[in-house]
Amino acid sequence: MDIKELMKKDVFAVEAGVVLEDATPGHAVATLKIEKRHLNAYGVAQGGAIFTLADLALAAAVNAYGVLAFSMQSDIRYLESAFEGDVLTATAHETLLRKRIAQYHISVKRQDGTEVALFDAICYRKQG
Q: How far is Cα 44 from Cα 46, in angstroms, rounded to an integer? A: 6
pTM of the model: 0.96
What's the total number of domains in the chain? 1
The CATH number of residue 73's host domain is: 3.10.129.10
H or E segment to which residue 62 belongs: helix 47-63
Q: Residue 113's CB: how many other CB atoms inside 10 A?
A: 7
Sheet holding 19-24, edge to edge: 19-24, 27-33, 87-97, 101-109, 115-125, 69-78
Q: What is the pLDDT of residue 127?
A: 81
- 99-122 tens-digit pLDDT: 999 999 999 999 999 999 999 999
> How many CA atoms, within 13 angstroms, populate the side-chain half-sphere of residue 56?
33
Q: Provide the residue range defining the domain that includes 29.
A: 3-125
